[in-house]
Structure 1
Amino acid sequence: MSWTSGTTRSPGAALAALAGAQFTVMLATSIVNVALPQIRTGVGLSDSGTTWVVNAYGLAFGALLLAGGRAADLLGRRAVLLAGLALFGGASSAAGLASSSGVLIAARAVQGLGAAAIAPAALALVMDLFPPGPGRGRALGVWGAVSGAGGAAGVLLGGVLTQALGWPWIFHAVAIGAFLVLAATAAFTARTPVRESGRFDVPGTAAVTLALTALVWGLTTARRSGWTGAQVLGSFAVAVALTAAFVLIERRHPNPLLPPRLFAAGRVTAGNALMALLGSVWIALFFFLPLHQQQVLGFSPLLTGLGQLPLAAANMLGSTLAPGVSRRIGATATVTAALFTEAAGLLWLSRISAHGSYLADILGPSILIGLGLSIAFVQLTALSVEGVARQDAGLAGGLVNTTRQVGGAIGLAVLATVAGTVTAHAATHQPHLDALTAGYRTAFGISAAVLAATALLAAVLTRRGNASAPASPAPADAASPAIRAN
C-alpha cells in the first residue's frame, strides 16, 4: 500500500469548508419538511408520493454510506468529496426545476447518493487534518455544532424560502450552498491518500447496500401500510437474508468492506450502537416538532422555522463545550450526562398541550434537548472513530453515519406508527387538535425513555480503565497525516 498526500496552509479554512459540507448534508435532510404541503400541490403528489420526497433522500443516503466511506479510503477522500458535492449540487438544482413528481423523487434519490459520498469523506478529512488530542476534540465540536444546527436551520430556511420565494428555492439554495462548499474544499484542502493496493469489496458492498435498502424500505412502508403488510414483511425477510449473505462474504473476502480490525480499535462498537439509539430519537424530533408547531399551534412555515432557533443555538453551545467537558469529567460521564439531559428535555416536551403556547411548552425543552443532543453527538462521534487506522477513516465515518441514519429510519417508523395509532384512538372521543397532541406527546415520551435507557447503556459500554481520558482516536500507524498544518 502506498499513499500520496499534500499539505494545506490553512487548517482553519479547511475545517470550515469540511464543516460546510456536513452542514449542507444535514440541511438537505430537514429543509423539505416545512414545505411538503406546497411541494405536494406544486408537482401533483399523492400522499405516498409526498412521503417519498423525504424517504428517497434518506433511503439512498443511509444505504450507500458504507460504500461511500470505503470509496473515499480507496480512491482519495478529497476526490470523492468533490465528486459527491458536484453530484449533490446538480441533483439539488434538478429538484428545484422539477415539474413532475417522478423527476423530483429521482432527484432526491441522487441527492442522497451524493450525500453518501460527502459525509464519510468529509469526516475522514477532519481526522486527517487534526491528529489525536485537544485539536481534534475542538474540530469534532465544530462538526457537532454544524450537524445539529443543519437540522434546525433546515426547518428555518425551509420556512423562510417557502413563504418568500416558493418551494423550488429550498432546493436552489441547497444547490448554491453545495457549489460554494465545493469551491472552498477545492481551494483549502490538499490531495489526500490514494490506496494503490487492495480490492473494493464489490459483493460485500452490494449485499449490505441492498440489505439496508430493503430494511429502510420496509420501515418507511410500514408507516403507511402497517407492520404486517406483505411488502413490509417481505422487505424485512430480504434484509435478513442479505445481511446473512454479507456476513458470509466478509468472512471470505481478502479485503472485506468491514474489516474486523475496525471493531477491535477503541470503543468503535459501543459508539456506533449508542449512535443508532441517539439517531432513532434525533430524526423523529425534527419530524414531530415542526408538525406540532404548524398543525396544533397554527404557526406559519416562517414562524415554525424561527421557533427552531433556540434549539439550534443550544446545539451550537453544547458542541462548543463538549470537548472541554470530556477532558474534565471523561468520555463516559460526558455522554451519559448528555443523554440524560436530552431525555429530560423530551420528557418535558411530552407535556405539551393542544391549548398551550411556544413559550410555555417548547422553548425550555428545546434548550435542554439542544444541549444534550449536541454534546452526545460530539462524544459518540469521537468514540466511533477512536483508535481507527488512518486507512480506514473513511469507512469509520461512513459507519457512524450509517448507524445514525438507519437508527433514525427505525425510530421514525416506529414512533410515527405509535403516534398515528394513539391519535386515531383519541380522535374517537377528543377534538382533532387534542388527538394530534396526544400522538405527539406519546412520541416524545417514548423518545425520552429510549434516551434514558441509552444513557444507562452508555455508562456500561463506554467504561474502561482510562475512561477519564477524552475520546479521540489514537494514532494507528506511523504515517503522517494526509493534511496537516504547516
Structure 2
Amino acid sequence: MSEDLATRPSAAEPDAGRRAGLLLAVLLVAQFTVALDFSILNVALPDIGAGLGMSLSDLQWVVTVFALTSAGFTLLFGRVADLLGRRPMFLGGIVLLGASSLLGGLADDVTTVLVARVGQGLATAVLAPVAMALLTTSFPEGPQRQRAIGLGGAMLSAGFTVGAVLGGVLTGLLSWRWAFLINVPLCAVVLLAAPALIPRTQERERTRLDVGGTLTITTGLLALVYGVTSAGHAGWADPVTLLSLGAAALLLTAFWLIELRVEHPLVSPRVLGRATVKWGNAGGLLTFTMFSAVIFLLTLYLQEVLGYSPLVTGLAFGVQGVTAFFAGVFAPKLIARFGSSRATLIGGLVLQAAATGALVLAGDSRDSFALVVVATAVGGFAHVLSVVSFMVTATSGLSNREQGLATGMTSLTQQVGITIGIPIMSAVATARIDALSATEPRAAAVLGGTSTALAVDALVVLAGAVVIGLFLRRAARA
C-alpha cells in the first residue's frame, strides 16, 4: 500500500499545472492588449481628427506621445519591478491601461486624448517587461519556457494584426472612441483573474535605485525616440531632429559611463555584456526595425502604385498575421529540433531577408498582388520566428532576479525597433521618389522608391544575420 501511495500522482500536481496554464492565459491576454494599442488607433486617426477638430500636426502627437512614453520608460519600470515586486507593478499597469483607455474613449478635446495616450504609453512601459518577466520566471528554462515565449510572440503578432483590422471595423461600424474603449473589458478580465494567479512571493533585490542611470537612460531614450520620430515628419536635416539625436547620443554615453562606475547599476554591465543578451537583442532590434518598415513600404505600394483601398490593403496583410501566429506556436518546436535558439534566430533573419528581397520583383501590375501576399506571409512567419528566438536567447542563463532587466531590454528592443524602422526606411524611399519624380509619373516614382528601400532592407537584414551569427557562434564555442 505504501508503494501505491508513493506512485500515485499528487492531487497538487494537476492543480499546479492548471494554475500555471491560467496564469499563462492571463499574461498572454495582457500582451495581446499591449500589442493591440500599437496599431489600433492608426486607422482611426482621421476620424479622431475630424471628431475633435484636430489639425494634422496634433494628430501625429497621438502616435508620438505613446511612442515616447512606452519606449522611454520601459527599462526603468522593468528594473523597478525587480526592486518592488512584479505583482503590484503588473496590477498597477493594468489599472492604468484600463483607466487611460476609458479616459480616451470619453475624451471631447485634444488635451484629454493626448493625456490618455501618455497613460497608455506608461502602462505599456510597465506591462511589456513585467508580463514577460512573470512569464519567464513562472516557467523553468527549457521547453516549457520556450513554449510560453512562443505563445507570447504569437499573441504579440496577433495583437498587431487584429489591432489594424479591428481599428477600421470599430471606427467604421461604431465610433473611433471604441478604439480606446475596447481595452476596458480586456483589462477588467485580467484584473479579476490576475490577483489569484500571480504569486505574492518574489525574490527582490535589496538595493537602491540608480538615480543617475535612471535619469540619463530615460531622458536619452526620450530624446532618441523624439528625434527619430521628428525626422519622419520634418526630415533628418531639421534642427530639432539633429538637436534631439545629439542629446540622445550624449545622454546614452553618459548613462553607460555611470553604469560602469556605480555600485548598484540600473543595467548591470555584466548582464548586458553577455553575448546572448547583447547579440540576442541585436537580432531583435534588426527584425523589428526592418519588418515594421516593410509593412509601411507595402502599404505605400499597394495604395499608390496598385491603387487598392485601405480595406483591401489591410486584408492583404491578414494572411501574414495568420502565418505569424503559427510561427509563434511552432517556434519552440523548431528551437528544440535544432537544439539552439541561435540557429533559429539566424535562420529566421535569413528567411526574412529572402522574403523582403522577393518583394523587389513586384511591378506596377495588379498581378503582383499575389507576390505581395505570399512574400509577406513568409516574411511574417520568419519575423515571429526571429522574435521568439531572440527572446529565448536574450533571457537564457540568467537568474530570476535578473529577468526584469533582461525582459526590460527585450521590450525596449521591440518598442525602439518599431519606432525607428519606418522613419529610417521612409527616408530611403523618399530620397529615391524625389529623384524619380522629375522625370517619372507619381506611381512609377513611388514604385522605384519602395523597390529601392525594400532592397536596402533585405540587404541590411542579411548582413546583420551574418554578423550576429558569427558573434553568437564564437560565444557558444567559448
Correspondence for 2:271: 262
Correspondence for 1:171: 180
The offset of 1:361, in angstroms, is 3.4
**Residue aligned with 2:363, SS:** coil
Change in Cα spacing, 1:315 to 1:229, as seen in structure 2 (3 Å) is: same
- Distance between the aligned counterparts of 1:456 and 1:465, measured in 2? 14
Question: Which protein has greater RCO, CA pairs closer than 8 Å, 6+ apart?
Answer: 1
Correspondence for 1:16: 25
Correspondence for 1:60: 69
The offset of 1:268, in angstroms, is 0.7
- Distance between the aligned counterparts of 1:181 and 1:437, measured in 2? 45
Correspondence for 1:473: none
Residue identity matched to 1:365: A
- Are positions 1:241 and 2:250 aligned together? yes
Correspondence for 2:211: 202
Correspondence for 1:45: 54
Correspondence for 2:232: 223
**Residue aligned with 2:41, SS:** coil
- Are positions 1:420 and 2:417 aligned together? no
- Distance between the aligned counterparts of 2:67 and 2:458, measured in 1? 24
- Distance between the aligned counterparts of 2:475 and 2:122, measured in 1? 40
Summarize the alignment of residues 269-308 of structure 1 with structure 2, pairs less than 5 Å apart. 269-308=278-317
Correspondence for 1:483: none
Residue identity matched to 2:161: A
Work out which of the residue numbers 90, 105, 117 in structure 2 matches 1:81.
90
Q: TM-score, normalised by structure 1?
A: 0.89
The offset of 1:437, in angstroms, is 3.4
- Distance between the aligned counterparts of 1:408 and 1:128, measured in 2? 26
Work out which of the residue numbers 415, 437, 442 in structure 2 matches 1:405.
415
TM-superposition CA deviations, 1:117-154 (whole Å, max 9, x none):
00110011111110111111111110111112211111
Correspondence for 2:387: 377
The offset of 1:273, in angstroms, is 1.6
Correspondence for 1:436: 446
Change in Cα spacing, 1:51 to 1:97, as seen in structure 2 (3 Å) is: same
Change in Cα spacing, 1:391 to 1:269, as seen in structure 2 (3 Å) is: same
Greater mean alpha carbon deviation, residues 293-302 or residues 246-255: 293-302
- Distance between the aligned counterparts of 1:296 and 1:394, measured in 2? 45
Change in Cα spacing, 1:24 to 1:295, as seen in structure 2 (3 Å) is: farther
- Alpha carbons 1:297, 1:357 under 8 Å: kept: no
Correspondence for 2:131: 122
TM-superposition CA deviations, 1:195-247 (whole Å, max 9, x none):
26111112211110000111111111112222222211111221122123212
Q: TM-score, normalised by structure 2?
A: 0.90
In our comparison, the structure showing a higher alpha carbon Rg is: 2
Greater mean alpha carbon deviation, residues 395-404 or residues 240-249: 240-249
Q: 5+ residue gaps in structure 1?
A: 1-6, 468-486
- Alpha carbons 1:69, 1:398 under 8 Å: kept: yes
The offset of 1:266, in angstroms, is 5.8
Structure 1: 4+ residue segments shifted above 6 A:
none
Summarize the alignment of residues 130-145 of structure 1 with structure 2, pairs less than 5 Å apart. 130-145=139-154
Q: 5+ residue gaps in structure 2?
A: 1-15
- Are positions 1:71 and 2:92 aligned together? no
Greater mean alpha carbon deviation, residues 177-186 or residues 54-63: 177-186
The offset of 1:326, in angstroms, is 1.5
Residue identity matched to 2:115: A
- Are positions 1:327 and 2:327 aligned together? no
Change in Cα spacing, 1:326 to 1:454, as seen in structure 2 (3 Å) is: same
- Distance between the aligned counterparts of 1:335 and 1:36, measured in 2? 35
Residue identity matched to 2:413: T
Q: How many percent of aligned residue pairs carry the same amino acid?
A: 37
- Distance between the aligned counterparts of 1:180 and 1:438, measured in 2? 48
- Alpha carbons 2:205, 2:401 under 8 Å: kept: no
Residue identity matched to 1:349: L
The offset of 1:313, in angstroms, is 1.0
Query: Matched residue pairs, number?
Result: 461
- Distance between the aligned counterparts of 1:101 and 1:296, measured in 2? 34
The offset of 1:67, in angstroms, is 0.5
- Distance between the aligned counterparts of 2:192 and 2:264, measured in 1? 34
- Alpha carbons 1:162, 1:301 under 8 Å: kept: no
Greater mean alpha carbon deviation, residues 54-63 or residues 178-187: 178-187
Greater mean alpha carbon deviation, residues 384-393 or residues 261-270: 261-270
- Distance between the aligned counterparts of 2:191 and 2:467, measured in 1? 39
Correspondence for 2:365: 355
Change in Cα spacing, 1:199 to 1:332, as seen in structure 2 (3 Å) is: same
- Alpha carbons 2:275, 2:475 under 8 Å: kept: no
Correspondence for 1:446: 456
Change in Cα spacing, 1:66 to 1:349, as seen in structure 2 (3 Å) is: same
- Distance between the aligned counterparts of 1:457 and 1:266, measured in 2? 13
**Residue aligned with 2:267, SS:** coil
- Distance between the aligned counterparts of 2:205 and 2:176, measured in 1? 45
- Distance between the aligned counterparts of 2:432 and 2:266, measured in 1? 42
Work out which of the residue numbers 105, 109, 129 in structure 2 matches 1:96.
105
- Alpha carbons 2:227, 2:244 under 8 Å: kept: yes
- Alpha carbons 1:336, 1:459 under 8 Å: kept: yes
Change in Cα spacing, 1:47 to 1:355, as seen in structure 2 (3 Å) is: farther
**Larger proportion of helix:** 2
- Alpha carbons 2:26, 2:193 under 8 Å: kept: yes
Residue identity matched to 1:460: L
- Distance between the aligned counterparts of 1:359 and 1:228, measured in 2? 36
**Residue aligned with 1:362, SS:** helix
- Distance between the aligned counterparts of 1:433 and 1:178, measured in 2? 44
The offset of 1:265, in angstroms, is 4.4
Change in Cα spacing, 1:192 to 1:420, as seen in structure 2 (3 Å) is: farther
**Residue aligned with 1:131, SS:** coil
TM-superposition CA deviations, 1:18-67 (whole Å, max 9, x none):
11111111111111222222222222233332222222111111111101
- Distance between the aligned counterparts of 1:39 and 1:425, measured in 2? 34
- Distance between the aligned counterparts of 1:56 and 1:266, measured in 2? 33
TM-superposition CA deviations, 1:355-390 (whole Å, max 9, x none):
325742321012111110111110001111121221
